[in-house]
Amino acid sequence: MVGFFLTLLLILIAFFAGYVAPYDPNEQNVYSRLTSPDLKHWFGTDSYGRDTLSRVIHGSRISLAVGVCSIIFGMVIGSLAGMFAAFDRGKIGNLIMRAVDVMMCFPAEIFAILFLVMIGQGMDKLIFAIGVVMAPRFARLSYGTTLSIREREYIEAARALGAKRPRIVLKHIFPNILGEILVMCSLWTATAIRVEANLSFLGMGVPPPTATWGNMVRTGVSQLTNAPWLSIFPGLAIMVAVLAFNLIGDGLRDVMDPKLQQG
Amino acid sequence: MKNDILLEVRDLHTHFYTDEGLVKAADGIDITIKKGKTLGLVGESGCGKSVTALSIMRLIQEPPGKIVKGEILFDDQNLLKLSEAKMRHIRGNRISMIFQEPMTSLNPLLRCGNQIAEAISLHQGVSNRDARAKAVEMLQKVGIPDPEGRAREYPHQMSGGMRQRVMIAMALSCNPELMIADEPTTALDVSIQAQILALMNQLKEEFGASILLITHDLGVIADMAQSVAVMYAGKIVEYVDVVRLFDNPMHPYSVGLMESIPKMDEVVPEDKILRTIPGVVPSLYNLPSGCYFQERCNEAFDACGKKVPPLIEIEPGHLLRCWKYGQQ
Residue B82: count of CB within 10 angstroms of its CB:
16
Put simply, whether the predicted model's pTM sits higher than 0.90 gets the answer no
Q: What is the 3-state secondary structure (H, E, C) of chain B?
A: CHHHEEEEEEEEEEEEEECCEEEEEEEEEEEEEECCCEEEEECCCCCCHHHHHHHHHCCCCCCCEEEEEEEEEECCEEHHHCCHHHHHHHECCCEEEECCCCCCCCCCCCCHHHHHHHHHHHHHCCCHHHHHHHHHHHHHHCCCCCHHHHHCCCHHHCCHHHHHHHHHHHHHCCCCCEEEEECCCCCCCHHHHHHHHHHHHHHHHHHCCEEEEEECCHHHHHHHCCEEEEEECCEEEEEEEHHHHHHCCCCHHHHHHHHCCCCCCCCCCCCCCCCCCCCCCCCCCCCCCCCCCHHHCCCCCHHHHCCCCCCEEEECCEEECCHHHHCC
pLDDT in tens, B41-69: 988 887 888 888 888 888 888 778 888 88
Tell which of B107, B123, B164, B186 to mutate to test the A interface (max A CBs under 10 Å).
B107
pLDDT in tens, B294-316: 888 877 787 787 788 888 888 88
Tell which of B105, B106, B112, B121 to mutate to test the A interface (max A CBs under 10 Å).
B105
Least confident of A128-132, A205-209, B49-53, B55-59: A205-209
- Is a pLDDT exceeding 50 seen at residue A263? no
Sheet of B21-34: strand order equals B21-34, B5-18, B65-74, B77-78
| Confidence bin at B328 (pLDDT 50/70/90) | very low
> What is the Cα–Cα distance from A186 to A81, expressed in whole angstroms?
20
Which residues in chain A belong to E strands, given as ranges? none
Locate all alpha helices (DSSP H) within A202-257, ordered by sequence: 213-221, 229-256
Least confident of A37-41, B50-54, B315-319: A37-41
- Residue B105 contacts A, CB cutoff 8 Å: yes
Q: What is the ipTM of this complex?
A: 0.73
Residues of chain A with Cβ-Cβ distance to B100 below 8 Å are 153
